Structure 1
Amino acid sequence: MTVIVRDFRPQDAEGFARIRRLSLPFMLFTAESIAYDVAHAHPEAHFQPLVAEKDGELIGTAQVGLVYDSPQPGQGYLNVFVHPERQGHGAGSLLVRTAEERLAVLGSTKLFAWVLDAPANRAFAEKRGYRASRSAHFLRLDLANGTLPPRQALPPDVELRSGADFADDPRPLFALDAEALADEPSDIAHEFTDYEAWLRETWNHPLLSHELTTVALVDGHLAAFSAARTDGATRYGTVMTGTGRAFRGRGLAKLAKNDSLHRARAAGYTEAFTGNDSGNGPMLAINDWFGYEVCATEVCHVREFH
């Protein structure tokens, strides 16, 4: 039978997550997190995942939407992954074509797609008019068998707290996250101003661990943080580590991340993952100090409609 592409349905969550895990084993996905992302996406994002199906089996996925929080209009994204053992049936091509049609109707003039840095994947993107842009690394740390740097003594004006300590009022964390994100290397500029959207998409996300997220305070002021996600089993990931502009250069992000890593290992997590833009030298140096090793690289590809 032929491959068909259709909209994601709630009952697809487990199959969608399985394909994403097989394609990107260094990122955290669960059926619950996929379903949550779909149900709580910002209306202006027009987030509509697609699935490719053959003989009743899900063989491909696409995350499709608009970059609603950018000051530049008309930017869309599509991230397509096909089950590693079901490639060659045309699912990827059909997912891309369907996603592009959807995004064009929504007014997109510039599309972004992350592509794993392998010759076949890059050729697939380039054949469809996408040009390579910046790259990013996935990194892995063996928490079970590796050796973490010891905890460092804190300066007298620095205190480390858990994200759970801010459950009653996470707004200060939102402000710190927004400031750090604004300075992240990226092809897309973001304006992180919607607190309610941040609550839905970040703070209340089912993968976020408030307990393993660490916040560094200087004289009581929020200064740096390392946000942690887990799959609830053995895998842990830091999805954002950042420092407020006024507090940079003091090693606070390293202190926060080291604390989170030690607590994750104590809680029984055996693998730690993170990701870095390949041009983010300071963060790559920090992760090298922890013992992370690059396990894969992906390249952002861009296509513009004229």
Structure 2
Amino acid sequence: MTVLVRDLRPEVPADAEGFVLVRQLAVPFMVTTPRSAVHALTHAHPDAGFRQLLAEQGGEIIGTAQVGVAHDSPTPGLGFANVYVHPGRTGRGAGSLLVRTAEEYLATRGVTKVFTWVLDEPHNHAFAERRGYEARRSAHFLRLDLAKGELPPLQSPPAGVELRTAADYADDPRPMFELDAEVTSDEPSDVGAEFTDYEAWLEETWMHPLLNRELTTVAVVDGRPAAFSVAHTDDAGRYGTAMTGTARAFRGRGLAKLAKNDSLHRARAAGFTEAFTGNDTGNEPMLAINNWFGYEICATEVRCVHELT
């Protein structure tokens, strides 16, 4: 049967469910739900030209792609296409068709350089290389058994530091936006990001259905959010760290570790059984922190790039 590629229809529940099933089978270390998939599509910034593609064969969704323009990068002409195929449905041409469709679309949006994440496995490397993608940096997925693992003891905040939650900023989340923008701009990446659009951040990040504000811990110094650990959760007992970081003026004081430890303890108390996170392989300080918590590397992915001609 022929493989067809089409857009995910947000109004059709089966599309989002099929999208999430493929993602969970291909990369089970990422916390996602049908609701979050639809949110990402319907709340994306218009300049991102964001699309979620589905590869379908005989009525079954067997592949997915997230495609868009890195509109918040200071460097023009950058885009992304992250493709995942159902592990039991490989070799049918779904991946190739998704890549080709994504690249043709991105070219119409002025993209000249396409970035993608590829799991660090021989057949995935070969697939990317055949299509002109060159390996760059790498990142680890890490997992922590919250149900059985031992967390470091809770620590009292040092003098002048208060622990709050993101829920405390429900009436005015702008201080959270400012912290997120500063931390994100310093995160290791091939594609830099500059958060300047507060309203877009509210739509895409603050209102994200996976964001658990009660479990997102914020370390506050002199009334200012200085560090945070952002929690994403689903309804299946899975907790993911979406971001952990500290504002430049407060680094080197252990505030990120303090915030993440508090968040993990409260996540376990709330009944979450698995914790996931991801780190650039060159981000040694954060890898050391996660090792201290007991996280173990469960997979590695490689960032690849292809220049369109």
Same fold (TM over 0.5): yes
Q: What secondary structure, in the 3-state scheme, does the structure 1 residue paired with 2:179 have?
A: helix
The letter for the 1-side match of 2:5 is: V
Distance 1:42 1:22 in 2: 28
Distance 1:156 1:102 in 2: 54
Deviations 1:10-35 (A, max 9, x none): 22101001111111101011111101
RMSD across aligned positions (CA): 0.7
Shift of the alpha carbon at 1:71? 1.0
Q: Which runs of 5+ in 2 are unaligned?
A: none
- 1:100 equivalent in structure 2: 103
- 1:148 equivalent in structure 2: 151
The letter for the 1-side match of 2:249 is: A
Structure 1 residues 1-306: aligned runs within 5 Å: 1-10=1-10, 11=12, 12-306=15-309
Distance 1:3 1:142 in 2: 38
Shift of the alpha carbon at 1:305? 2.4
The letter for the 1-side match of 2:8 is: F
Shift of the alpha carbon at 1:76? 0.8
Q: What secondary structure, in the 3-state scheme, does the structure 2 residue paired with 1:288 have?
A: helix
Q: What secondary structure, in the 3-state scheme, does the structure 2 residue paired with 1:153 have?
A: coil
The letter for the 2-side match of 1:276 is: N
Deviations 1:107-130 (A, max 9, x none): 110000000000000110011000
The letter for the 1-side match of 2:130 is: K
The letter for the 2-side match of 1:297 is: T
Q: What secondary structure, in the 3-state scheme, does the structure 1 residue paired with 2:51 have?
A: coil
Q: What secondary structure, in the 3-state scheme, does the structure 1 residue paired with 2:153 have?
A: coil
Contact 2:6 2:53 in 1 (8 A): yes
Contact 2:141 2:279 in 1 (8 A): yes
Shift of the alpha carbon at 1:219? 2.4
Distance 1:261 1:300 in 2: 28
Shift of the alpha carbon at 1:79? 0.4
The letter for the 2-side match of 1:117 is: D
The letter for the 2-side match of 1:14 is: E
Q: What secondary structure, in the 3-state scheme, does the structure 2 residue paired with 1:191 have?
A: coil
Deviations 1:149-184 (A, max 9, x none): 000122111110011001000100100111011111
Q: What secondary structure, in the 3-state scheme, does the structure 1 residue paired with 2:172 have?
A: coil
Aligned-pair identity (%): 70
Distance 2:169 2:94 in 1: 44
Q: What secondary structure, in the 3-state scheme, does the structure 2 residue paired with 1:93 have?
A: helix
- Structure 2 length normalisation: TM-score? 0.98
Distance 1:164 1:244 in 2: 19
Distance 2:65 2:298 in 1: 23
Q: What secondary structure, in the 3-state scheme, does the structure 2 residue paired with 1:71 have?
A: coil
Q: What secondary structure, in the 3-state scheme, does the structure 2 residue paired with 1:138 have?
A: strand
The letter for the 1-side match of 2:224 is: H
Q: What secondary structure, in the 3-state scheme, does the structure 2 residue paired with 1:209 have?
A: coil
The letter for the 1-side match of 2:70 is: V
Shift of the alpha carbon at 1:105? 1.0
Q: What secondary structure, in the 3-state scheme, does the structure 1 residue paired with 2:88 have?
A: coil
Contact 2:175 2:224 in 1 (8 A): no
The letter for the 2-side match of 1:3 is: V
Distance 2:308 2:157 in 1: 52
Distance 1:109 1:142 in 2: 41
Shift of the alpha carbon at 1:248? 0.3
Contact 2:162 2:219 in 1 (8 A): yes
Shift of the alpha carbon at 1:221? 1.9
Shift of the alpha carbon at 1:97? 0.5
Count, aligned residues = 306
Distance 1:124 1:36 in 2: 30
